[in-house]
Each structure stands twice: as structure tokens, then as C-alpha cells.
């Protein structure tokens, strides 16, 4: 499914469409942007035609120094059947040959008043966000003390009820039931809620509640980086659960490894408090304070001392 089309960047950045209107539905498949200076110099062997072409002051002043036939020919070659668009920055005047070629090939030519470098950065960030790999996971995403915690587990294990208790304790809900995740870079996963169920929680026996209406705007968050996954599972007497927290389990989401903690569920356990403490302990570990490692070190020292005696 096409995620971004040329018309999307026209609307996003309020660009002036000069020609090639028939091509505004062309797909943009890469976040890479090309500044075709070497192509204007005549070298088209590796022309990245599938990228947005960005022409600034440097490229335009160089083109003006060419003789008319060379300039027109090279500008025409910038317009191909796969080029999603050509953007002129700084509000510069556009050569007539480029406008004519863009109309023939249906390549949108757009103009921005912004400086080239700044616009290039804004456009790249926008495209990377829109074109990032995405997935959806059944679970709940909550911001706890600044840590994005995704709570997973089988249906009915108590994810939404735990999230409700966390919201009551002052934390913020991002998504319930379905968490849409995009990988913004190699180690960054950002979770959001589908628009249809944004700010909503489903509590069995109670129904659907609007968290923002009940607890205020400070109880919800639109998106959050996922740092920790907590898996809730029904207590299994035959299973050995981690009691020290030395071994760190990981789960792969898209291409990113995220720390995972498995918490067994049984009557009498306050899951909200446990998850809250897990988030605080995760923050401490990132700051270099690991209680499990310190305990193991002290235990080893005691054993060594008793062995010497």
C-alpha cells in the first residue's frame, strides 16, 4: 500500500504547484532526496530518478551558466516516468524548459520559499516518519515515569485493568488493545493508537471508557517510544520464574530488540505497582545501577570470605 504521494508533501509543506499536476498522485517510495547538481553537469549514469529532486540556489545558478541548449536538455532529462516531483527552493524562478518537460512527463514541479538545507531536513524527517516499517501488536502502551511500557499477554489476563490502575496512579495511556508501531531508526520504536480507539479503554463488565474525559488531558499521550515490554501470563506452578533479574530477556519487534520482563499473574498480586516498579528499575539500570548485579557481587564476596575462613 502506498504510504506517501506527491500531493501529501504539497499539502504538508504548503508548496506552490507550478506544473505537472497530473502527476501529483505519484508514489514516493524512498526518504532519500536528490540534489541533481552532477546531473546538471551532464552525468546521468546513476541518476536516482525515483527520488524527490531538490533544486536550490547552487544548482540553479550553475544551470544559468550553461548555454541554452545544454541547460534545456539536462533539465528535460530530470523528468522521467518515475520521478515523484521536483522542488525548487528559495522561491527561485523556474526555467521554462523544465516547466514544459514536466507537463509532458506529468512530473510535478513545486516551489518553496524556504532555504534549501532547512527544507531538505524537514522533508527527510517527514518521509522517514511516513515510510518507516510498521506493525501492529495486541497490547497496551503506557508512559510510566517517562518509560514507554508495552503490556502484552493473552486476552483476559488483565492488561486493560492494569492500565486503568496505572492511569489512576498518574501515568499516561497511549494505546489500548492495538498498538501501532513504526520503526523510526534501527533502535527506535514509536507506538501510537489507531485513531478509531484513541484515548479509549475497554474494561470487561464496564465497557468502553474515555480516559481523557474521565481523568483529563494529562492522562493520555499521542505517541511514545517503546523501551520495555512486560508480558503478563497466568501463573504456572511448573515454570521457573526469574527471581533475581540477572538475565535480561529480549523480544524482537520489526528489527529492534526490546527488553522484555515476564510477570506471572495470580490473585493477590498488585500488577500496577509491580509494573510501576519495573519501569523505575529499568530506568535505574540505564543509569548504571543494577540491584541484581550488586546483590550477586556481595553474595560472591561473602562466599569467598567464608571459604577463606
Q: Which residues are catalytic?
A: 138, 159, 177, 243
- Give one DSSP letter per residue of 161-218, joined into a string: HHHHHHHHTT-EEEESSEEEEEEEETTEEEEE--GGGTTEEEETTTEEEEHHHHH-GG
Q: Is 158 annotated as a binding residue?
A: yes
- Give one DSSP letter per residue of 202-245, joined into a string: EETTTEEEEHHHHH-GGGB-SEEE--EEEEEEE--TTSPPPSS-
Cα distance between residue 165 and residue 167, in whole Å: 5
- The C-alpha R_g of the chain, in whole angstroms, comes to 27
Q: Is 153 annotated as a binding residue?
A: yes
Contacts of 262 (CB under 8 A, 6+ apart): 230, 231, 233, 241, 242, 249
Q: Give the angle 229-236-144 at the CA atoms, nearest 5°.
A: 25
CA-based nearest residue to 153, from 140, 163, 170, 143? 140
271: number of Cβ within 10 Å = 20
> Helix, strand, or coil here: 138?
strand
> Helix, strand, or coil here: 63?
helix
Q: Is 160 annotated as a binding residue?
A: yes
User: Which residues share a beta bridge with 180?
Assistant: 136, 192
Q: Is 155 annotated as a binding residue?
A: yes
Q: Is 159 annotated as a binding residue?
A: yes
Binding-site sequence positions: 153-160, 202
Binding-site sequence positions for Mg(2+): 160, 202
Binding-site sequence positions for ATP: 153-160
Amino acid at each position: 500500500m502506498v504510504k506517501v504521494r506527491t500531493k501529501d508533501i504539497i499539502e504538508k509543506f504548503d508548496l506552490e504547484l507550478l506544473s505537472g499536476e497530473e502527476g501529483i498522485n505519484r508514489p514516493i517510495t524512498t526518504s532519500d532526496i536528490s540534489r541533481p547538481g552532477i546531473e546538471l553537469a551532464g552525468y546521468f549514469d546513476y541518476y536516482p530518478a525515483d527520488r524527490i529532486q531538490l533544486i536550490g540556489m547552487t544548482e540553479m545558478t550553475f544551470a544559468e551558466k550553461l548555454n541554452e541548449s545544454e541547460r534545456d536538455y539536462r533539465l528535460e532529462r530530470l523528468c522521467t516516468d518515475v520521478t515523484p516531483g521536483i522542488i525548487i527552493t528559495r522561491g527561485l524562478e523556474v526555467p521554462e524548459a523544465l516547466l514544459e518537460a514536466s507537463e509532458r512527463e506529468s512530473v510535478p514541479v513545486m516551489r518553496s520559499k524556504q532555504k534549501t538545507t532547512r527544507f531538505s531536513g524537514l522533508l527527510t524527517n517527514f518521509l522517514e516518519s511516513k515510510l518507516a516499517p510498521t506493525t501492529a501488536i495486541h497490547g497496551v502502551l503506557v508512559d510510566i515515569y517517562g518509560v514507554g511500557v508495552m503490556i502484552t499477554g493473552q486476552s483476559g489476563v488483565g492488561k486493560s485493568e492494569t492500565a486503568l490502575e496505572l492511569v489512576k496512579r498518574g501515568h499516561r495511556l497511549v494505546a489500548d488493545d492495538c498498538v501501532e508501531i513504526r520503526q523510526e531508526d534501527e533502535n527506535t520504536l514509536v507506538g501510537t493508537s489507531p485513531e478509531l480507539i484513541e484515548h479509549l479503554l475497554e474494561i470487561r463488565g464496564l465497557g468502553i471508557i474515555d480516559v481523557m474525559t474521565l481523568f483529563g488531558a494529562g492522562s493520555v499521550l499521542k505517541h511514545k517510544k517503546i523501551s520495555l515490554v512486560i508480558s503478563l501470563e497466568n501463573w504456572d506452578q511448573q515454570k521457573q520464574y526469574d527471581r533475581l533479574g540477572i538475565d535480561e530477556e529480549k523480544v524482537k519487534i520489526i528489527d529492534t530488540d526490546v527488553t522484555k520482563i515476564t510477570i506471572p499473574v495470580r490473585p493477590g498480586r498488585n500488577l500496577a505497582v509491580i509494573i510501576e516498579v519495573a519501569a523505575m528499575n529499568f530506568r535505574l539500570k540505564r543509569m548504571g545501577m543494577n540491584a541484581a548485579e550488586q546483590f550477586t557481587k556481595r553474595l560472591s564476596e561473602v562466599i569467598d570470605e567464608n571459604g577463606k575462613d
